[in-house]
Every structure is written in C-alpha cells, then in structure tokens.
Structure 1
Amino acid sequence: MLVRLHFYAGVLVGPFLLVVAASGFLYALAPTIENVIYRDTLFVDSDSSTTVPVSEQVAAARQQQPDGTLLAVRPAPGPGDTTRVLFGVPGLGESERLAVFVNPANAEVTGEIAAYGSSGALPFRTWLSHLHRSLHLGEPGRIYSELAASWLWVIALAGLVLWFTGRRNGSRRKPQRSGSARRRTLSWHGALGTWVILAMLFLSATGLTWSRFAGENVGELKAALDWTTPTVSTKLDATGHGGHEGHTMPAGADPAVTSWDQSLASARSAQLDGPVEIAAPKKAGTTFVVQEIGKQWPTQADSVAVDPATGKVLDVQRFDDYPLAAKLSRWGIDGHMGLLFGLPNQLLLAMVAGVIVAMVIWGYRMWWQRRPTRGHAFRLGRPARRGTWRGAPIPALAALVVVAIGIGIFLPLFGVTLLAFLVLDLLVGLYRGRSSESTAEQGDELLV
C-alpha cells in the first residue's frame, strides 16, 4: 500500500514539488543576492558610528515622499547600513511599504524601493517569494504550493519506510555505483532522501503554516490552544497618556519630530539592543511600538509600547515569555526563509532544495526505466503490484482510514487529492480487470 501511495503521489505531485523546490533554491539565496543588487541603496561608504538624530533622517525621507503616510522607521542597524523610513503609498501590493533609504551619517537619501513583509524583502526577493508561493497567480496559485507541502511529508515518510524495509544489499546511506541503471538510480534517490528527510519534514510543516486552507486550520488550532504570538498593549488610558495629562496625536498626522528619538531611547533603556522597527501610532489614543526585528540566532523579538508624549514605556513583551509554540513558530518561519542563521541557513536550504529537485528527476527516471521494452512501441513504467492491501489486518486498515480522514480534514488539499488517487486507482483496476476478462474470452473463442 505504501508502494502504491508513494508511486501515485510521486508521479502526480512530482511536478509541483519540482517547481516549489527549484523556486525555493533561488529564494534561499535571495537575501545574499539582494545585498549585492541593491548595495548602493542599502549601504554607505562610512564605518563611523556617529549619526544624526533619527528625527532628522525621518524629515529627509518626508521631503523625498511628501504625500505618503508615515508608518514606521528602521534605524540603521550598524555602521555602513542605511536607515529605512517606511511609507504607505497608493499602488503598492498587499503587505508592501515604500522604503526611503537614508544615510544615517548625514541624512542624505540614497534611494527608495518597495519593501515586502516583516522581513523587508526588496523587489528581487519579493518576486521570487511570489513565484515560490503562488507562481504569480494570486490566491488561486497558492493551491500549487499547498499541494506540494501537504504531500511532501507523506511521500518522504513512505519513501523512508520503503527504503529501509526493502530487500536490498549495500548501505542505505551511501549511493551505489555498481549494478543496473535502475538500481543505481534507486540508490541515489533513497540514500540522499535519507540524509534530507528531517529537512523535508521541516519544510513541509513550516510551509503549511503559510498555506491557504491548512494555514487557516493551523491558525485556529494555535488560537484554541493559546499558542498565538503575544503583543504589547497599545491603548492609552482615558487621559490620552500613560497616566499623564495631555493631547493625543490627531489621526493620520505625523508624530512629533522628537517622538522618534524619544521612542528609540526608551526602547534602548528597556534592553532592546538589536535592530528595531519603530511603528508610529496607528490611530489617535495609541502608542508607538518598538519591535526587535533581528532574525538571526539567538532570536531577539522583544517589543515595547511607548507613550508618544512622554516617552514612558507602558508595556513590555519579552521573547523569553512567549509560549513554546509561538517560539517554535518564529524559529520555523525564519529557518524556512533562510534568515535564522544567516548564510549557513541559506546554503543548507539551497542544498536541500537541490536534492529534492534531483530526487524528483530520479523518481521519474525510475518510472521510465520500469517501462516494458518488448512488444510495445511506447508505454510508461508499470505501477506497483495491485491488491496486496487486502492481506492487511482489518484493525490496521480501519485505523489507517480514521487517521487518513482526520489528516484530510485538517489538510483539505491532501484529503481531496488522496480521494482522487483512490478513485484513480479504482478506475485503473476496473479497466485492467475488464481488459483481462476480454483477453481471456478471446483466448477461449480461439480454443473453441
């Protein structure tokens, strides 16, 4: 039964896995490539730690973009880096903000580029992200990546069981260089799959958290178990401040000039020492939010709410206090994107993606090598032998059905396609059964 499942899933889902792995290979290296493409905008020829106030940098960006809605500021994380001042402007895509880059040493603007998501991806990485996620087809295109993520773990685990339970000679962890062509192909397919099995399971699980249908179920499960990522409270009290009299910022207006410097200083005093984003109040009666945005290990994701008038820290949320599931989710997402350990993370993801591409190609090659070569002008490889599942114990089959239904409900695309595979298998069986009966009847007629 595992052989048939691995066969059908591999043949029919293989193209989706091939595309998602190939695009993932490119995306894994994108953060490093991005730094080269946009070097003149992202970096300045200055290693001085002396900078002008953040408020002056914001003012320079505002002159460059007078009509945009000022949303947030990402002060330069280190010498030689530029500051990002983020605006909302018409015409940008979902989750995109216009980033105006400012030299922190002299407040000169070095460029403006659309930035995507919390990682601040620039157009090159954004294009690859949409290719990997949806083939640039919008919401309908997300089905392809969810289908690949839903089946990757099934194909991988079934293949691992088959590889270690099959009757084969030689090492299961080293490819064989002798024997028939099909045996060598199988050896490479199985051995390399063994080495990257954990990475494939990791990519499947983390990929599903972003998916359209399964992702909603994951979100509902996290909410029900209180595994969601906690956030700071941004609401000011009835006086408009954290216990102080005064006036709130009018809705839609830029924060006071000094508020940016004040909020950054307050965050530093609260031990937010890494790269941060200072988000402006979203509406009247709310606070600034300063959030650590460093993605590398060890993770720093503390956040504080700051009174826009006084600079007082009103609420603090430490990453150390996150629920374990929220921490795992953060690490998983950053690891999937190649950000958790920087360049080593990216190289590892690229290697795994390359292995998955090779395994899909080897899988199709084995199917081709199994084709009948006598008496047929053209036929594809034979599927695994039918009917062996009938010998399995009834309790085991019943348990398998219950588990499959449960997984199919939680992962809807997996459930629908699994049902389609079963129907296809049934139709193939009926067709072959009728063909065999027809052949037998013709043989009886000849005998008569």
Structure 2
Amino acid sequence: MTDLSIGRARAVPAAPAASDLYRAVWRWHFYAGLLVLPFLISLAITGGLYLFRDEIDGLVHADLKRVEARQDAARVAPSAMVAAALAAQPGTAVKFTDPATPTSSAEITVATESQGKRAVYVDPYDGRVLGSLPDRGTIMWTIRSLHSLKYFGSVTRAVIEIAAGWAMLLVATGLYLWWPRGRSGGVVSLRGTPARRVFWRDLHAVTGLFVGGVIIFLALTGMPWSGVWGAKVNEWANGNNFGYPAGVRVAVPMSDEHLDHLAKTSWSLEQAQMPQSPVHDHGMAPIGLDRAVAILDSLGLHRGYAVNLPSQPTGVYTGSVYPDDLSRQRVVHLDQYSGKPLIDMTYADYGPLGKALEWGINVHMGQEFGLANQLVLLAACMAIVLLCLSAAVMWWKRRPKGGLGVPPMPADARIFRGLIALMALFGLLFPLTGLSLLVMLALDQIVQRFGRRARAQR
C-alpha cells in the first residue's frame, strides 16, 4: 500500500503527529513488502495448486493411480501385492498403502540399494504392477516441496517463519494505511484508469482489505511447520510424554525412532516415538501383513490408510491415516507378534492447543470444508498474487529515477522509535521475525546515511 494522499483534497493539512506516524508506518510497510512479496507470490501459486493435489495427481498420474473398479471382483491379498511390487522393483518393502477408493491403486514403498525409495503402484484386483515413481515423486509432492522451500535445505524452515511474521506485519501496517480518515474514494472502490497510479493504489488497498484476514490466518496456520516457533509450540502443545498428546497412556517399551521419520504424520505427532513389540522367548511368529491389515480394517481405520512394516524383531505394524475429516485421523501401532494394539490415537486424544492447530492446518490445506474450502482459498491465493503485482506496479510508477523509492522518515524520530517498540513486542512472539527486524533496522540506518551523504554532495 502507499500514500493515501493521492486524490485527496489538500485544504486541511494533516496534524504533524499524525503525518509522522503515517510516514513511519508507510516506511515499514514498504520494507515488509520488499522482504515478503517474492515469497508471497511463490507461496500463493504453489499453495493454490496444492489445494487440488488429489485432482491434479489423479490426472497427471492416472496411469499409476487409477484402476477400473470391479464391483464383483475380490481384491488380491496385500502380501501378494507386495510380492508383485518386489518382483518388479527388487528391494525391501517398507510400507503398504491401502487403496482409498474402488478406483484407486495400492501403493507399495520399496527401499532399493541404488535408487533410494520407490513407490510401486499395483492394481488391487489382479495384482498387476502399473509402474513406479521415486517415493514422494508425484507432481504434487514436488509442488509441496516448492511451497515449503524444502528443496533448498532445512534452513528454509526459518525463512518461512520470517516471511510469515513479516506478512502479518504487512497486513497490520497496510490496514492502517488503508484507513479512510474521512475519505470516501478508494476505500472499497477503484478510481482512475490503469494508466494512473491512483488506480493501482486503490486496487492494492481494496484487495488487501478483503484478503488481509486470510493472509494472517494462512501465516499463523503455516507457522507450525516453521523451524523455531513451530518446534517450540509443538513441544508445549503435546508435552514430553514420548511426543504423544496428553491423555494417551504410553505403558509400553519405546524406541528412539520417531514416527515422522518413518511415515507422513500429523503436526501433533511429529515428535512421537515408536513403541516396541516385546520379543517372545517361545519364538512366536510375526502375524504378517495380511493379518495386520485385517486387524486395522476391523478397527475401522478410514480407507486409504498406510501400513509401515516392521524392519526389526522389536518393530511394529503402524497403520496411519489423515483424511479430510479430522475426526477420522488415526494412528495405530500393532504388536507384530500378537497383533495387539499398543497405542491407538485419534484426533480426540489431542490436547486443546493441538486440536486447534490441527484444525487450522486442515483448513490451511483446503481439507476441512471440502470444495468450498478449496475454492475460497484459491480465490485468496489469486488475490494475493494480484496484491503483490499491484504493489510492484505502484512502486515502479512512484520510484524516483535512480533511487529505491523508500518512503521518507518521519520528522519526529520519536514516532518511529515508538513504532519500533511495538514491532519489537511482536518480535518476542515470533523470535526469528524479531531478529530479522533488527537486521532491517540496521539496513535502514545504512540507507539513511547514504541518503544524507548523497544530499550533502549535491
């Protein structure tokens, strides 16, 4: 957003204090935009695509993920599907994913010696192998990795946290700049034509007004994946009881392995440790995959659940599913010898904060309210791109020749310091954003110093 004096009558000048505060807010709104807009465009485009991950993957990978439904045909046993997958792709089977619908294929994850993990797709009706991809190698997993900046290393989780914090500051300062202050034009309407800067100012301000709340919601619900804030809140929300939510009794031996290392899991269970199957002295044989799947079916897990296979004598069969319906989220660990559930958790077992954050994540991913959720967030993503583009055009039209066009400092520096104090309080809630704020303050001092030097040399 930019100077709202454009198109405003100049009969009554603003009070000095109000003018100084406006300049201070405008300056930091500019800095926030400079830092965040490239990330917002990337997040909006990849996030908008990922909302329709099932639909897009179903089209792009239809030859692997889709089969013809055969109502009267019995499904091949899970162990037979695994055997077929291993015959086509030699290695060690580590996970079996149940077909989610009558037209879905089964997915068997195979760890190979030379190619890493591979996802092998099998027709559940006849056991025919349809093909394979690298594990998490679908187009939507690629989009998800781009959305989270995971392609660029673990440090990028910190970048996401900083960007989310600055996005919230961007909305807060933008709302102040938009505030009408007795003006009627450009509040919820557009003035002028695209050739004039006032048109782009109004387009930016009005778009920001309608999408600002969504940006704050998406920033807050994206924070759980961040490196510092998300990790600390996860510990606080879920306690230290082996990483399981409060209320879940863990009275079985636990390993040092974490569920998140073995399988995609919910945010609340990222730090959950794996239980161990007791090794029986009398040589009890493992129940096998077919029996494990039958037990998980009898327990009522939602279709499309994944079963992680035990790789050691103390390992367990882990059935997990995270459908759109939060109430159907479930993780069950089975003793590989007796088939007894060692830990059985649902969304209802999470603590109050865990439930709230999981709900926010579900809405963030476009799952909680079905197609309506997807369409509303898609519209928001498109609006965010428009917001960023209009900001770029507006800046380009107002920038001075050969300069960056940083909004002027307020005449009264105390106003600026007061605003910084308020932003510092925000930085305490989001530490990495606070650290980046200090960096921006230092850069701002450098910009001012060079500006004064340039003016002195004229």
TM-score band, normalised by shorter chain: 0.7 to 0.9
Among residues 284, 289, 292, which one is paired with 2:313 in the alignment? 284
Q: 1:307 aligns to what? A: 335
- Which residue identity is paired with 1:32? E
Matched, 1:41 2:64: yes
Shift of 1:167: 5.0
Among residues 208, 211, 230, which one is paired with 1:193 in the alignment? 208
TM-score, normalising length: structure 2: 0.77
Post-superposition, which runs of at least 4 consecutive aligned residues in structure 1 deviate over 6 A? Answer: none
Stretch deviating more after TM superposition (195-204 or 127-136): 127-136
Among residues 330, 333, 357, which one is paired with 1:329 in the alignment? 357
Q: 2:325 aligns to what? A: 297
Q: 1:81 aligns to what? A: 104
Among residues 214, 218, 221, which one is paired with 1:203 in the alignment? 218
Matched, 1:403 2:425: yes
In the alignment, the residues of structure 2 paired with residue 73 and residue 191 of structure 1 have an alpha-carbon distance, to the nearest angstrom, of 49
Stretch deviating more after TM superposition (11-20 or 353-362): 11-20
Summarize the Cα distance change of 1:418–1:389 in structure 2 as closer, same or farther, 3 Å threshold.
farther
The gaps in structure 1 that reach 5 residues or longer are 117-121, 250-255, 373-377, 440-448
Q: 2:198 aligns to what? A: 183
Give 1:136-147 correspondences, 5 Å limit: 136-139=151-154, 145-147=160-162
Q: Deviations over 1:408-435 (max 9, x none)?
A: xx432x2343223222322333344455
Q: 2:89 aligns to what? A: 65
In the alignment, the residues of structure 2 paired with residue 82 and residue 358 of structure 1 have an alpha-carbon distance, to the nearest angstrom, of 39
TM-score, normalising length: structure 1: 0.79
Summarize the Cα distance change of 1:238–1:85 in structure 2 as closer, same or farther, 3 Å threshold.
closer
Summarize the Cα distance change of 1:7–1:41 in structure 2 as closer, same or farther, 3 Å threshold.
same
The DSSP-based 3-state class of the residue aligned with 1:196 is: helix
Q: 1:253 aligns to what? A: none
The DSSP-based 3-state class of the residue aligned with 2:395 is: helix
- Which residue identity is paired with 2:76? V
Matched, 1:155 2:170: yes
Contact 1:29–1:350 (CA under 8 A) maintained in structure 2: no
Q: 2:40 aligns to what? A: 17
Among residues 263, 277, 281, which one is paired with 1:236 in the alignment? 277
In the alignment, the residues of structure 2 paired with residue 237 and residue 135 of structure 1 have an alpha-carbon distance, to the nearest angstrom, of 37
Q: 2:142 aligns to what? A: 127
- Which residue identity is paired with 2:275? T
Matched, 1:424 2:443: yes
Matched, 1:52 2:72: no
In the alignment, the residues of structure 1 paired with residue 414 and residue 212 of structure 2 have an alpha-carbon distance, to the nearest angstrom, of 29
Among residues 294, 306, 311, which one is paired with 1:265 in the alignment? 294
Contact 2:66–2:103 (CA under 8 A) maintained in structure 1: yes
The gaps in structure 2 that reach 5 residues or longer are 1-23, 246-267
Shift of 1:44: 0.9
In the alignment, the residues of structure 2 paired with residue 136 and residue 393 of structure 1 have an alpha-carbon distance, to the nearest angstrom, of 38
Q: Deviations over 1:169-195 (max 9, x none)?
A: 147344446798222212211212122
Contact 2:95–2:109 (CA under 8 A) maintained in structure 1: yes
Summarize the Cα distance change of 1:397–1:344 in structure 2 as closer, same or farther, 3 Å threshold.
closer
Q: Deviations over 1:311-359 (max 9, x none)?
A: 3334322221211322333333344344444544443333222211211
Summarize the Cα distance change of 1:208–1:90 in structure 2 as closer, same or farther, 3 Å threshold.
farther
* Matched-pair identity in %: 27
Q: Deviations over 1:190-219 (max 9, x none)?
A: 212122222211222233332344444444
Q: Deviations over 1:72-120 (max 9, x none)?
A: 2111122111111122224567xxx42211111111111112232xxxx
Summarize the Cα distance change of 1:91–1:400 in structure 2 as closer, same or farther, 3 Å threshold.
farther
Contact 2:105–2:124 (CA under 8 A) maintained in structure 1: yes
Contact 1:189–1:363 (CA under 8 A) maintained in structure 2: yes
Q: 1:247 aligns to what? A: 284
Contact 2:64–2:121 (CA under 8 A) maintained in structure 1: yes
Contact 2:410–2:416 (CA under 8 A) maintained in structure 1: no
Contact 2:237–2:351 (CA under 8 A) maintained in structure 1: no
The DSSP-based 3-state class of the residue aligned with 1:304 is: strand
Q: 1:114 aligns to what? A: 134
